[in-house]
């Protein structure tokens, strides 16, 4: 899909909103963890956990389209990882992020771990998660899988959420450390965390500092999430001029710009509370 086609589809979605178009439920199912719903409006399709927790959103005709800012920001990993042999994605949702990684970062292998069988079913049927020979989907708990993944991945994507929000597992020091230990030398862990109030800091900030110091990079996005970029060792270079050029080279392919996330990228130690920004 070209950039103009993508903008047209998003324009159609806004037009539908303005015209009072209603969101229509197209599927619902239950698994051992609760209700899963799928709805659509215009060109967009939504995944809900329970009645009201919006979990994923994507373009019906483009499974690799990323609608949320936080998922787009996670693609910045590609700037530092030009050659990805294996990616480990913890948490699947509708599968848009995994589809985007396959399409745009071109890893040779991706293992996606999802606790809920119903979520995998929905991602395949309603969100176009591809049957790609590079993609392995494990239905299991990340808590079970990660300890077996020592030094196995160049990229670890940590995005574990349930109906009530971020999982307790994603805040545990031992689990965060195990995820980090799954990285190969030169690898990168990308974590989708919530912001702690208006502090400019993520949930579990003190635990993260104890584990990784405060020189890792982070990007705050509109939804209230903070995306953390934590290398296997040392610190990531922060060359925003080079990153802007890299983002511009991908814009036509993606259909949107990654520049907004480059602009807010900073060291964790330099984070400015939102209320103090001018």
pLDDT of res. 273 = 57
Under 8 Å between Cβ of 115 and 31:
no
Using CA atoms, how far apart are residues 163 and 52, in angstroms rounded to an integer?
8
Residue 132 DSSP code: -
Binned at pLDDT 50, 70 and 90, residue 196 comes out as: confident
Q: Is the pLDDT of residue 97 over 60?
A: yes
Which residue has better confidence, 260 or 275? 260
Summarised one tens digit per residue, pLDDT across range 150-163 is: 999 999 999 999 99
Q: Does residue 12 surpass a pLDDT of 60?
A: no
Q: How far apart are CA 120 and CA 89, in angstroms?
A: 13
Residue 249 φ then ψ, to 5°: -70, -20
The pLDDT tens digits of the residues spanning 207-229 come to 999 999 999 999 999 888 999 99
The token pair at 203 is 């949930």
Of 103, 148, 140, 147, which Cα lies nearest the Cα of 120? 140
């Amino acid at each position: 899909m070209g950039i103009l086609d993508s903008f047209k589809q998003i324009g159609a979605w806004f037009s539908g909103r303005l015209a009072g178009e209603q969101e229509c439920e197209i599927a619902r199912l239950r698994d051992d963890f609760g209700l899963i719903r799928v709805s659509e409006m215009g060109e967009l399709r939504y995944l809900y956990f329970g009645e009201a927790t919006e979990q994923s959103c994507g373009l019906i005709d483009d499974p690799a389209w990323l609608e949320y800012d936080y998922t787009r920001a996670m693609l910045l990993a590609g700037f530092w990882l030009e050659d990805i042999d294996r990616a480990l994605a913890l948490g699947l949702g509708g599968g848009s992020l995994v589809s985007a990684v396959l399409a745009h970062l071109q890893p040779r292998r991706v293992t996606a771990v999802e606790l809920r069988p119903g979520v995998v079913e929905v991602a395949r049927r309603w969100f176009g998660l591809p049957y790609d020979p590079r993609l392995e989907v494990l239905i299991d708990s990340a808590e079970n899988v990660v300890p077996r993944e020592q030094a196995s991945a160049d990229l670890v994507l940590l995005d574990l959420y349930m109906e009530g929000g971020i999982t307790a597992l994603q805040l545990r020091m031992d689990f965060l450390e195990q995820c980090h230990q799954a990285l190969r030398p030169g690898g990168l862990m990308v974590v989708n965390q919530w912001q702690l109030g208006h502090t400019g800091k993520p949930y579990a900030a003190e635990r993260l500092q104890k584990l990784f110091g405060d020189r890792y990079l982070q990007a705050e996005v509109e939804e209230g999430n903070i995306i953390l970029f934590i290398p296997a060792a040392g610190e990531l270079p922060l060359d925003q001029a080079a990153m802007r050029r890299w983002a511009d080279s991908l814009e036509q392919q993606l259909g949107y710009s990654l520049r907004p996330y480059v602009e807010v990228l900073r060291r964790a130690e330099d984070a400015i509370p939102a209320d103090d920004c001018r």
